[in-house]
Amino acid sequence: MRVMKRILFGSLAAAMLVAGSAQAQVKVGNAMAVTGPIPDLVAPMVAAVDLAAKHINEQGGVLGESYEVVRADSACDPSAAVDAVTKLINVDQVLGILGPVCSGATIAQAESVSIPAGVVTLSVSASSPAITSMESGTDLVFRAAASDAYQGVALADLTLASGIKEIAVSYANDDYNAAIAQVFAKVYEEKGGKVVAMEAHEPNKASYRSEVQTLSKGTNALALFAYYGSSGITIMRNALETGAFDTFIGADGMLAQEVIDQIGAENLGNATFTTSASDDTTDAYKAWQALAEAAGVPAADPFVPNSYDATFMMAMAIEKAGSADRSKIAAALREVANAPGEVILPGEWAKAKKLIGEGKDVNYVGGAGPQDFDANGDVQGSFSKNTVVGGKWSATLIK
């Protein structure tokens, strides 16, 4: 028993010593699903967060201090996210949380930890419609990615506009894909399309040949909602191999260079995926693309521009709040992100800092869209459709 007490208290003390040794900085917490089911999607998002912090520190930092992003692992898992955010808020004393990746983990950490503690959560990618209605008047949860309620509609419109009247739907049975598939199917049928078959599939299986074959009755178009890494690529490959489908429609989870590299551009002539980002007709996206490409970060991967935008807006909000005070950040976040004000593009930290210092209004416009928060802390988002052109995804703005 004595030995154990020593180990117990020893490890506790060590944990606290190590954590407490950091100097006074402007710290924000970044709970990302570094491990868990989608590490491949998260890795470039992490890189984008770090890139934003780097740009901010190169141009003077926040409140005259260095802007430190403290990372923790939320593993896409409510219990890991709650534990990670508890540590960020209490031990690291961060000013705000740059959100866990998955919607379930985001809601859990918000309801369990960050809302009771009065800390702002700015999610980089949680897209579940449930987040809109969860916080009941506390105004502490924001997100830099549009709700599926918007993207599902945009995708249904796009599908009908491209002349696909009948479609089969297959979605991975997880929080993100199930949600967007429901919205898509409902809107698509309301607007005159016909869903010939709709089935969930269990992610992470080695083969989906029988599923796609059973779904393919009467149409060659498949609306596929999946993460590319856990089942998306396998389903597309199985469908193409067996000739069950040749036309694919889908959302963010499928959008990665990995898909082209693995399946081959020649097989993806009829694949269209939407994502909540702009295209290179906007100045903001051009600015983001230049910065991302200079740093080797994949600019068009899902939620990567959103991650950069969130990190940048959080820094602007802290600068605007004028002090390291958690309670002022929510209001400041809305002010710096929403119109009116002088437009700030990705990377323009020195300009933003100067204008905020002069007390002028600013309005951040990011690579993922205008990033204006509504009363629920949601962004409308703009969506682009992505098709393969010359071996790369090429984005065009829709609507």
Partner 1 sequence: MLEFVNFYFIPGLVLGCIYALGAIGVTLTFGILRFANFAHGEVMMVGAFLTWTFMDFMTGAGLALHPLVAAIPAVVIAIGVSVFVDRYFYRPFRKSSPIIVVIASFGMMLVLRSLVQVIWGPNQITFVKGIAKPNGAIREATSDMGMMILVPDKHLLIMVGTIVIMLAFNYILTSTRMGKAMRAVSDNPDLARTSGINVESVIRNIWVIGGFCAVAAGVFLAMDTQFIESTMGFRILLPIFAAAILGGIGRPFGAVAGGLIIGLAEELVAYPWIGDAPLISPGYKSGIAFMIMVVMLIVRPSGLFRGKVF
Partner 2 sequence: MDQMLGYFLYAMSLLTMGGIYAILALGLNAQWGFAGLFNAGIAGFAALGAYTYALLTTADSPFHYGGLGLPLVIGEMVAMVVSGMVAAVIGAICIRLRADYLAIATIGIAEIIKLVIKNETDITNGPRGINKIPRTWEHLTEERFYSSWPMSMFNTPEGWVSFFDSLPAWWWQPFFAATVLVIMFIFYFLLERARLSPWGRMMAAIRDNEVSARAAGKDVTGRRIEAFILGAVIMGMGGALLAQHLRLIEPTNTFDPAKMTFLVWVMLIAGGSGNNRGAILGGFLVWVLWSGSELMIKGSIDVIASIFSDWDPAILQTRAGFLRMLLIGLLLQLVLQKYPGGILPEKRPAVSGRNAKRAGNRE
Where do contacts with partner 2 occur on this chain (CB under 8 A)?
A: 1, 3-4, 7-8, 11-12, 14-22, 34-37, 43, 46, 50, 70-73, 75-80, 82-84, 86-87, 89-91, 93, 102-105, 107-108, 111-112, 116-118, 128, 130, 134, 173-175, 178-179, 200, 202
211 binds, among partner 2, partner 1, none (CB under 5 to 8 A by kind): partner 1
| Token pair in block for residue 262 | 């693995």
Q: Determine the Cα–Cα distance for residues 182 and 393; give it in Å rounded to an integer.
A: 26
Name the DSSP class of 237. Answer: H
Residue span binding partner 1 (CB under 8 A) among the ranges 77-85, 120-128, 256-264, 284-292: 256-264
166 binding partner 1? (CB under 8 A): no
Cβ-contact 145, 276 below 8 angstroms: yes
Q: How many whole angstroms separate alpha carbon 17 and alpha carbon 384?
A: 47
Which amino acid is located at 275 in the chain?
Answer: T
Residue 16 contact, options partner 1, partner 2, none, Cβ 5-8 Å cut-off depending on partner type: partner 2
Assess 201 for contact with partner 1 (CB under 8 A): yes
Closest approach of partner 1 to the CB of residue 45, in Å: 13
162 touches partner 1 (CB under 8 A): no
Among 166, 202, 283, 342, binds partner 1 (CB under 8 A): 202
Q: Which of 79, 90, 162, 204 binds partner 1 (CB under 8 A)?
A: 204
Print burial letters for 135-170: b (CB count within 10 Å at least 16), e (below 16): beeebbbbbbbbbbbbbbbbbbbbbbeeebeebbbb
Residue 213 interacting entry, from partner 1, partner 2, none, C-beta within 5 to 8 Å by type: partner 1
200 touches partner 1 (CB under 8 A): yes
Task: Pick from 244, 271, 344, 365 the residue near partner 1 by CB under 8 A.
Answer: 244
Which residues, 17 to 76, sit near partner 1 by CB under 8 A?
Answer: 35, 39-40, 43
Binds 159: which of partner 1, partner 2, none (CB < 5-8 Å by kind): none
Helix residue ranges per DSSP H, the chain = 2-20, 39-58, 78-86, 103-109, 115-117, 148-161, 175-190, 209-215, 233-242, 257-263, 283-295, 304-321, 329-337, 349-357
Q: Which strands make up the sheet holding 271-275, listed edge to edge? A: 194-201, 166-172, 221-225, 247-250, 271-275, 383-389, 392-398
For partner 1, the closer of residues 162 and 207 by Cβ is 207
Smallest distance from the beta carbon of 83 to partner 1, in angstroms?
Answer: 18
> In the 8-state DSSP scheme, what is residue 341?
S
CB of 52 to partner 2, least distance (A): 15
Cβ at position 329, least distance to partner 1 in Å: 32
- Binder of partner 1 out of 165, 217, 360, 392 (CB under 8 A): 217
Quote the CA–CA distance of 76 and 82 in Å, as a whole number. Answer: 11
The β-bridge relationship of strands 96-98 and 120-123 is: parallel
Q: How far is the CB of 14 from partner 1 (least distance, A)?
A: 21
Looking at the Cβ atoms of 207 and 281, the one nearer to partner 1 is: 207
Is residue 258 a contact point for partner 1 (CB under 8 A)?
yes
The item of partner 1, partner 2, none sharing an interface with residue 112, based on CB under 5 to 8 Å by kind, is partner 2
Stretch that binds partner 1, among 54-62, 207-215, 289-297, 371-379 (CB under 8 A): 207-215
Q: Is there binding between residue 240 and partner 1 (CB under 8 A)?
A: yes
What DSSP character marks residue 364? E
**Helix %, strand %, coil % of the chain (to 5):** 45, 20, 35
Largest CA distance in the chain: 74
- Cα–Cα distance for residue pair 373/44, rounded to 1 Å: 24
Q: Judge whether 45 and 114 are in contact, CB under 8 Å.
A: no
Integer Cα distance of 178 and 126 in angstroms: 13
Contact between 264 and partner 1 by CB under 8 A: the answer reads yes
CB 102 within 8 A of CB 112: no
* Nearest CB to partner 1, comparing residues 87 and 201: 201
Footprint of partner 1 (CB under 8 A): 35, 39-40, 43, 173, 197, 199-202, 204-211, 213-214, 217, 229, 233-234, 237-238, 240-242, 244, 258, 261-264, 267
